[in-house]
Amino acid sequence: MENIVSMLKQLVLGDLAAMVVTGKVTEVDQAERTCDVDPDDEGAPLVSVRLRSVVDDEQNGFTIWPAVGSTVTVLMLDDHTGLVVQYSEVEAYSIRNQKESLKAILSDFLDAVLNQVFTTNNGPTIQLVNAPEFTAIKERLDLLFLD
């Protein structure tokens, strides 16, 4: 809360430029949910910039993963802590709570579609005619979502 009050004071007093840095993403650490940024103003590299405002051991919440080489805007929370607030290019997303992830739900749904069997007058169906389409959709999930 103290950081927020301090940031609001800086905004009111007009010191926003010192709080915002733009630069290129040089590395992304999925385990730590951080990235390293090379500032456009040729200042010192920013390391371990947060991708989420909350720092904890949980993987819950909404995380946006920037692409390496993309431009990001970093809000400096203090002299050593930054938070990515804008992205020019996104590599992937993670949306999860304590019980589920969106990727897992969509993947399970597509598995259920692919495993459908219908009873007909001549017995059960043996193969979903458009199974390759659903398989392709499931593969695309891996391009968009991380667990």
Domain boundaries of the chain, sorted by first residue: 2-96, 102-144
User: What 3-state class would DSSP assign to 82?
Assistant: strand
Name the nearest CA neighbour of 46 among 57, 38, 54: 38
CA distance 84 to 40: 14
Of 9-18, 40-49, 58-67, 115-124, the range with the highest mean pLDDT is 40-49
Please compute the mean of the pLDDT values over residues 44-53 and round it to a whole number.
93
Name the nearest CA neighbour of 16 among 75, 73, 72: 75
Above 80 in pLDDT, residue 12?
no
CA distance 71 to 7: 23
CA distance 142 to 110: 13
Asked whether the beta carbons of 59 and 100 are under 8 A apart, the reply is no
pLDDT category of residue 65 using cuts at 50, 70 and 90: very high
CA distance 41 to 27: 18
Query: What CATH number should be reported for the domain whose range is 2-96?
Result: 2.40.50
